[in-house]
Amino acid sequence: MCSRVYDMTFRLSPSSVLIALALTVLLAACGNQNSTMPPIVVTFTPGFTPPPTMVAGTTAGIAATITNGPQNSNTVGWTVTCGSEPLCGSFDPPSTPSTIPTTYTAPATIPTDNTVTVTATYGGDSTKSVSATITIN
């Protein structure tokens, strides 16, 4: 069995190299036009999840994480509801960057049904949120 080695030399002009480079960049910029962005998800941040129970008038640090949101728009808005509106407690501050805790202060008196629902909502899309129920004792 014989094998032959061929010595071939290619000579490209600088303009050919530039054209090839430009075409490569243009094709890379196109990307996959059929791809979809992953969904934006709101979750409570581990270590800063709402507690299952709180004593009236006490505080808790709560944080939420925005996943797959634009880097410049990861704001979380905080709301609380209960059967004794508007005496459901408060957040300070009422909005935070993703993963940064807010301080929730439970209502001074126990609300109707003994529960409040805290909600973290993505600032860029009000349909993206996460909620938890806290029992107030």
Domain boundaries in the chain?
41-136
Beta strands in the chain (DSSP E): 41-44, 53-54, 59-62, 64-67, 75-82, 90-92, 95-97, 102-105, 115-122, 129-136
In this structure, how many other beta carbons lie within 10 angstroms of the beta carbon of residue 57? 12
In this prediction, residue 7 has a pLDDT band, given cuts at 50, 70 and 90, of low
Q: What is the pLDDT of residue 67?
A: 95
Mean of pLDDT values over 7-11: 56
Q: What is the pLDDT of residue 72?
A: 74
Q: Quick check: 28 pLDDT over 80? A: no
CATH level 3 topology of 41-136: Immunoglobulin-like (2.60.40)
More confident residue, 104 or 35: 104
Instruction: Tell if the pTM clears 0.85, that is, is over it.
Output: no
More confident residue, 128 or 1: 128
- Range of weakest confidence among 19-28, 54-63, 105-114: 19-28
Q: Which amino acid type is present at position 41?
A: V
Residues 45-78 have pLDDT tens digits of 999 999 999 999 999 999 999 999 887 789 999 9
Q: Quick check: 18 pLDDT over 70? A: no
Q: What is the pLDDT of residue 14?
A: 66
